[in-house]
Amino acid sequence: MDYRSALALLAVGVLLLRFFIKHFFSVRRHSGLPFPPGPTPRPIIGNLHDLPTRHPWLTYTDWGLRYGDLMHASVFGQHVIIINSVKTATELFEKRSHIYSDRPVVPMVELLGWDYNTALLPIGDRWRRHRRILQQHFRRDISRQYHPVQIKKVHNLLHGLLSNPKDFRELIQTLAAAIIMSAVYGYEVEPSNDRFVTICDAAVRKLADSFFPGAVAVNVIPILRHLPSWMPGAGFQRFAAECRELNQEMKKGPFEFTKQNMVHGVEANSVVAKLLESSGRQSHSEETIQETAATAYAAGAETTVSSIASFFLTMALHPDIQKRAQDEIDAVVGTHRLPGFEDRASLPFVEALYREVMRWKPGIPLGVPHSTSAEDIYNGYFIPKGAIVVSNIWAMTRDESIYSEPNRFNPDRFFTADGKLNDNDTVLAFGFGRRICVGRWYGDASVWATIVSVLAVFDIAKGKDAAGNEIGIDPDNYGGGLVSHPEPFACSITPRSEAAKNLVQAAVENHDV
C-alpha cells in the first residue's frame, strides 16, 4: 500500500469514528413507546443491508404485508418511516402537516447541486418564496391560460409521430420539455437533440439514480461528503461535480435566453419574463427566479415523460381498451376536428383511462420523502424528530380495498355501478399536504391532452420483427430511480385514416400562421 492510499484509509477511519461518536451518543428514545414495526436492525448499522437500492417501492410493499401500513427502519441511527396506505398518509401529511411537511437532508442532493429545487427545500423562508411564485403562476385557474400552448405542442407531437413513429420516446421527451419551457421561458425547443432538453434529462437522471437512502454510501454516512474526490471510494464526488455543472447550465441557460429576448422586445408572456418585470415590486431576486423556473422545468418535463410513455405501453398491450376510447372520441368529437380541452367533460372513458394510466405505474412511486420537524406519537408508536418519512405511492395504488385486481390495467374501476365516473380523481403521485405538487393542474392537462389527441389520430400496437412476428412487451420492465420510466419497448404507431393525417397537417399549419 502506498503512502497516499494509507493516508486515505486513515482519513476515512477518522471521519467514520467521528460520525459514530457524534451520532450514537446523541440518540434519544421516547421511554415506553416502540417504533413502528419493521425488519430487525443490526447493531450499529441498523437496516443498512435491508434497504433496497433499486425498485425500493416493491420491497416496501412486501414489507407492508408483514409489518402493516406504518413501518420503521434505521441506518446508522437515521430513522426511516414508511407509509403504505392513503389513510395513514392523510392522517400524518395532511392532518398533522405542521410536523410532517419538512424535507430530509439528503447529502447527494446538495453535492449534485439540486439543493435549490423547491420540491427538495426544507420548510423555511426560501421555500415559502419559491412556493408563492409557483402557486402564483401554476394554480388551477391560471393553469388554464396555458391550454393553447399545450394543445399546440401536442399537435407538434402528432406531426412528429406521422413522420418518425419509431422515435416516439424522443418525441415524448421533446413534447414534455416543449410544453413547460414555452410557458416558463418562452423558449421553443428544437425538434430533436435540443441542448437544454439534453442537459435537463442528464441532470435529473443523476439525481434519480442517487436519491434514495441506500443508493449512495454518503446518504447513510453523511460525513463521507468531506472526502476529496481522489480518495478511494469517493467516486461519487466526481459524479456529483459533473451534475453540478449540468445544474448550473440548466438554471442559467434558459434564463439568460429569456432575458436577452426581453432586451430585444420579443418576449413578455412567459413566467420568467413576468417575474423579471415585477421583480422590483415583489422583491424577487434573479437567483430566486432562476431556481423556481428550473424547478418547474425539471419537475414538469421528467414526470410527464414517464406518464405518457406508460400510456403508449398500455395501449399497445390493451387494444380493446384503446378501441373503446377511440369510439368515444369519434362519437363525441367526430372525425372532422381534433379534440380539445372543451371536450374533456364529455369523454368519461378517456378520463377513466387517464386516471388509470396515472395509477397503474405512478411516475414517482415513492413520492418525495418528507421529514418530521418534531417528535410524534401515532397509534401508540413513537416517531422521532428528524425521521425520513416515505410515502409508498406504489403500495397505495395496489391497495385491494380501494382497487380490485390492482395489477390489472382497468379504466372501468373508475365507474360506478350505473356507469358514471366516480369521485376518485386523486393522482397520488402528486403528493400530500403542504408539499403537494404545485404544478399538478399543469401536468394533469399536459398528459390528458396528449392521451386524447394521440387516440384520436393513431392506432398503437405491439411492434413486429423482420419476420412479421409481434415483439413482446414486459409491463413490469420499469426503471428504479426517483422517477420511474418504462424501459425501451417496441410499438407500432399508425394513422387511423387519411383524414386523421390531414387534420394533423392542417392543425400544425394553422399554429404556424
DSSP codes, 392-461:
-HHHHTT-TTTSSSTTS--GGGGB-TTS-B-S----GGG--GGGS-TTHHHHHHHHHHHHHHHHHHEEEE
Pairing of strands 388-391, 78-83: parallel
Kindly state the cell numbers that stand for 84.
403504505
- C-alpha triplet 243, 247, 249: angle, nearest 5°: 120
486 dihedral zone (left: phi>0; alpha: psi -120 to 50; beta): beta
CA distance 28 to 199: 43
Query: Are 349 and 325 within 8 A, CB to CB?
Result: yes
Closest CA to 482 of 390, 387, 372: 390
CA distance 83 to 100: 12
CA distance 86 to 432: 10
Most distant pair of Cα atoms in the chain: their distance? 78
- By the 10 Å C-beta count (0-12 exposed, 13-18 middle, 19+ buried), 57 is classed as buried
Q: Is 243 annotated as a binding residue?
A: no
CA distance 440 to 48: 34
Query: Are 89 and 390 within 8 A, CB to CB?
Result: no
To the nearest 10°, the Cα dihedral for 92, 94, 99, 103?
A: 100
Closest CA to 168 of 458, 421, 428, 497: 458
Helix axis angle for 319-332 and 286-317, nearest 10°, is 110
CA distance 179 to 169: 16
- C-alpha triplet 210, 93, 296: angle, nearest 5°: 50
Kindly state the cell numbers that stand for 311.
400510456
Say whether 387 sits in a helix, a strand or coil: coil
- By the 10 Å C-beta count (0-12 exposed, 13-18 middle, 19+ buried), 181 is classed as buried
CA distance 222 to 277: 41
CA distance 449 to 232: 50
Residue list for the binding site: 437
Residue list for the binding site for heme: 437
